[in-house]
Amino acid sequence: MEIFIRRTANEIGDFAANMIEPFVKQGATLGLATGSTPSPTYQALIRKHREEGLSFADCDAFLLDEYYGIDQHHEQSYWSTIRRELTASIDIDDAAVHSLSSSAADPEQEAATYESMMKDAGGVDIQLLGIGANGHIAFNEPTSSLSSRTRLIDLRPRTIADNARFFDSEDEVPRQAMTQGIGTILEAKKILLIATGAAKAEAVQAMIEGPLSSFCPASSLQMHNDVCILLDEAAASGLGDVEFYKEIDAYWR
């Protein structure tokens, strides 16, 4: 794991956008995340598109996950969110932005179709990830198999409570979601995980310095050989060896 610590979430956003830019120029398959964490990165990518002419026209994109049991056009569906946060503001073809169905009658079939679409696209070249306060990646909640594939999953109470801020009340948060599996995510060629804010500090520590465990799904990234972890100071505050990570980072700068 390569670990980069910057002062603020906006600095992390610029840093992540600079890492993603060469992939965009090659017309890569992008793995996109939703939630609050990637917003500064998406803002920086939109700026590059508007001010520097960065074109996404040759890219395609796959979302990590989607709530299950809400309308695709609900403002909090991830289908809507990624369009609002990023893809409506860049020149990617809307049909090239793929996501899991929020209402598939046969979730197992939907999962299999999604996996084969990803495969046909040549796999994800660069995957952007956030991390849940409980260590989840995408919606792979604690105890998810480390080799799990795309599937329907029940959300944990912690995740429902954390995501209630996007809805009028906690009761409105869907209880289930479709998610890429951990095994699916680990097939991305490069992974960029971003964590910002003190609420993520404990999960970040478990991911980087804890044991490989399905109890912290993000610890599965220890098994991948091209992972960059981008942290602000608050998210890095629980790390035991923080001075070492900063030294290595400074050495390569």
Check binding of 130 to ligand PGA (CB under 6 A).
yes
Q: How many residues bind ligand PGA (CB under 6 A)?
A: 6
Q: Which of residues 174-203 bind ligand PGA (CB under 6 A)?
A: none
User: Which residue, 185 or 239, is less far from ligand PGA as judged by CB?
Assistant: 185
Q: Contacts from 5-10 at CB under 8 Å and sequence distance 24+?
A: 5/231, 5/232, 5/233, 5/236, 5/242, 5/245, 5/246, 5/249, 6/230, 6/231, 6/232, 6/233, 7/232, 7/233, 8/232, 9/40, 9/196, 9/197, 9/232, 10/40
Q: Could you give phi then psi for residue 135, rounded to 5 degrees?
A: 90, 5
By annotation, the residues acting in catalysis are: 65, 134, 136, 141
- Which window, 53-61, 128-136, 174-182, 231-239, contacts ligand PGA (CB under 6 A)? 128-136
Are 69 and 113 contacting, i.e. CB atoms less than 8 angstroms apart?
no
Check binding of 36 to ligand PGA (CB under 6 A).
yes
Task: Out of 31, 40, 132, 174, name the contact with ligand PGA by CB under 6 A.
Answer: 132
- Which window, 71-79, 130-138, 146-154, 171-179, contacts ligand PGA (CB under 6 A)? 130-138
Minimal distance, residue 197 CB to ligand PGA, in Å: 8
- Which window, 14-22, 111-119, 129-137, 180-188, contacts ligand PGA (CB under 6 A)? 129-137
Minimal distance, residue 132 CB to ligand PGA, in Å: 4
Minimal distance, residue 42 CB to ligand PGA, in Å: 12
Check binding of 13 to ligand PGA (CB under 6 A).
no
Give the CB-nearest residue to ligand PGA.
35
Q: Could you give phi then psi for residue 153, rounded to 5 degrees?
A: -135, 150
Token pair 């991390």 is at which residue?
131
Check binding of 35 to ligand PGA (CB under 6 A).
yes
Minimal distance, residue 32 CB to ligand PGA, in Å: 12
Check binding of 43 to ligand PGA (CB under 6 A).
no
What does the alpha-carbon distance between residue 205 and residue 227 come to, in Å, rounded to a whole number? 15
Minimal distance, residue 114 CB to ligand PGA, in Å: 18
Task: Out of 4, 5, 9, 37, name the contact with ligand PGA by CB under 6 A.
Answer: 37
Q: What are the tokens at 88?
A: 């409506």
User: Which residue, 5 or 193, is less far from ligand PGA as judged by CB?
Assistant: 193
Residues paired with residue 3 on neighbouring β-strands, in sequence order: 229
**Residues near ligand PGA, by CB under 6 A:** 35-37, 130-132
